Amino acid sequence: MNKNTTITQQILIAMAIGLIIGSLINTFADANEWIKSFIVQGIFHVIGSGFVNALKMLVVPLVTFSLICGVCGMGDIALLGRVGFKAFGLYLMTTGLAVSLALIMAILINPGQGFQQNTALLSEFTPKPSPPLTDVFINIIPSNPIQAFAEGNMLQIIFFVILFSIAMLMTGEIGKQLAKGAEKLNEVMMQVVMLIMRFAPIGVFCLMGKTFAEQGIGLIIPMIGYFVVVVSCLLIHSLGIYSALLLLFARVNPLIFFKKMRSAQIFAFSTASSNATIPVTLKTVEQQLGVNRSTAAFTVPLGATVNMDGTAIMQGVATVFIANVYGIDLSLVQYLTIIAMSILASIGTAGVPGVGLIMLAMVFNQVGLPVEGIGLILGVDRLLDMVRTAVNVTGDATVTVIVARGEDEIDLSIYNGADTPESTLPKGN
């Protein structure tokens, strides 16, 4: 590829080609066993999943070292508390806004009204039993930190690392030496991120190729009403509400924000996982949007777990849709329950593909809707998962910028400066 093409352009092109080739396979070669097993389940699957694994591999060490650097860099426990409080509050607020917008839009448009319940569309869905809500809070404290690290349980890791870093601050000289070590390890990890990013175009191409070869665009047709309402809400929320919040609370130009968020959004879209996107989100907010590492290291991983605005939107629309399909009238109390449940459910669940549906089962149980109804929206969920994950990640970055601006932890010359996505390439390239 042309040397002047930036890494983001390369990824964008790879994404588009993957989408086209995948859709072509789905339309014209669906019956061809060789293409299915050798290309789709072979090459696309192996390279795509390998790339996602490589991204996930970075998450735990990157979050650990950068969080240690972040807390030690703040040097002040009160400041840490303030940043945490603001970020958490804003995350809850944006999710509340998201699900409310989704409910209002869905009630106005009423998708699913008069929908002929098509049993062919009702794919198998067996909901996993959802944990009681109290466990969400208890489980923030890891009974075994090694297990938390091994399982990549983000909230537990954040809890332990913050506690550990606070103790480092309290131990003075010993803590300072350790912090220097963490700085160095963090640098090295960033270099590992850059190495993995070199493979991003091919990884993204295979992920897109596989998804579209399996799903095809045709699946959307019978569910078009539901699909369009969810996607419209996602667009209004990200372009409208995030822009307004950025203008109002951070007093920065949202256009620059969206332009620079492209790579993170593409990664979120093709991996459908906010967790796997953490390395890219962190790099973007630090290097492109100018947020200080101490703030970003804390708010980005926190957001990947507790903030899922896109997912909340899907839940709001899905609830109204299924209620309409089954001809059930929802009361005001049920609507309020949906809002509360969507916010609470997003706190304890990790940003991984498809988790939104499990959370949806929790919401349905709570408001008494038939959980089998989820089978109806299963077919289009993978595509929607991709779009809503991009929104989830954009929400994490929006809150990060707002918090950083409030704490004067953002370098506006970097924020307003040139778009340099090529910084994702290893140095000396």
Least separation in angstroms between CB 404 and ligand ASP: 22
Residue 410's beta-bridge partner residues?
291
Which residue type, as a one-letter code, is found at position 394? T
Least separation in angstroms between CB 263 and ligand ASP: 17
Residue with smaller CB distance to ligand ASP, 296 or 391: 391
> CA 392, CA 274: separation in Å to the nearest integer?
7
Q: Which residue is nearest to ligand ASP (CB)?
A: 356
Contact partners, residue 259, CB within 8 Å, separation at least 6: 419
**Single residue of 64, 156, 273, 288 touching ligand ASP by CB under 6 A:** 273
Longest dimension (CA), the chain: 70
User: Site for ligand ASP (CB under 6 A): how many residues?
Assistant: 15
Binding mask 372-391 toward ligand ASP (x if CB under 6 A, else -) reads -------------x--xx--
Angle between helices 154-170 and 77-109 (to 10 degrees): 160
Which residue type, as a one-letter code, is found at position 336? L
Residue with smaller CB distance to ligand ASP, 10 or 392: 392
**Single residue of 274, 305, 319, 400 touching ligand ASP by CB under 6 A:** 274
**Residue 102 to residues 92, 93, 361, Cα–Cα distance (Å):** 15, 14, 17
Least separation in angstroms between CB 389 and ligand ASP: 4
Per CB under 6 A, 8 contacts ligand ASP: no
Angle between helices 224-235 and 309-325 (to 10 degrees): 150
Per CB under 6 A, 165 contacts ligand ASP: no
Least separation in angstroms between CB 143 and ligand ASP: 25
**Single residue of 98, 162, 194, 272 touching ligand ASP by CB under 6 A:** 272
The answer to whether the CB of 201 falls within 8 A of the CB of 47 is: no
The answer to whether the CB of 51 falls within 8 A of the CB of 198 is: no
> CA 188, CA 177: separation in Å to the nearest integer?
17
Per CB under 6 A, 320 contacts ligand ASP: no
Residue with smaller CB distance to ligand ASP, 10 or 307: 307
Task: Enter the DSSP assignment of 273.
Answer: -
**Single residue of 353, 373, 395, 421 touching ligand ASP by CB under 6 A:** 353
Closest to 379 in 3D by CA, of 210, 229, 231, 218 = 218
Residue 291's beta-bridge partner residues?
410
Angle between helices 262-271 and 374-406 (to 10 degrees): 150
Residue with smaller CB distance to ligand ASP, 83 or 383: 383
Least separation in angstroms between CB 184 and ligand ASP: 31
Per CB under 6 A, 352 contacts ligand ASP: yes
Least separation in angstroms between CB 418 and ligand ASP: 29
Per CB under 6 A, 351 contacts ligand ASP: yes
Residue with smaller CB distance to ligand ASP, 68 or 285: 285
Q: Which stretch binds ligand ASP (CB under 6 A): 156-164, 222-230, 352-360, 395-403?
A: 352-360
> CA 164, CA 71: separation in Å to the nearest integer?
10
**Single residue of 311, 319, 324, 398 touching ligand ASP by CB under 6 A:** 311
Q: Which stretch binds ligand ASP (CB under 6 A): 102-110, 154-162, 284-292, 347-355?
A: 347-355
The answer to whether the CB of 71 falls within 8 A of the CB of 165 is: yes
Chain centre to alpha carbon of residue 153: 15
Residue with smaller CB distance to ligand ASP, 23 or 273: 273
Residue 328's beta-bridge partner residues?
none
Task: Enter the DSSP assignment of 330.
Answer: P
Determine the straight-line distance between the first and last CA of the chain, rounded to whole angstroms: 14
Q: Which stretch binds ligand ASP (CB under 6 A): 85-93, 334-342, 348-356, 406-414?
A: 348-356
Which residues are at the interface with ligand ASP (CB under 6 A)?
272-274, 308, 311, 351-356, 385, 388-389, 392
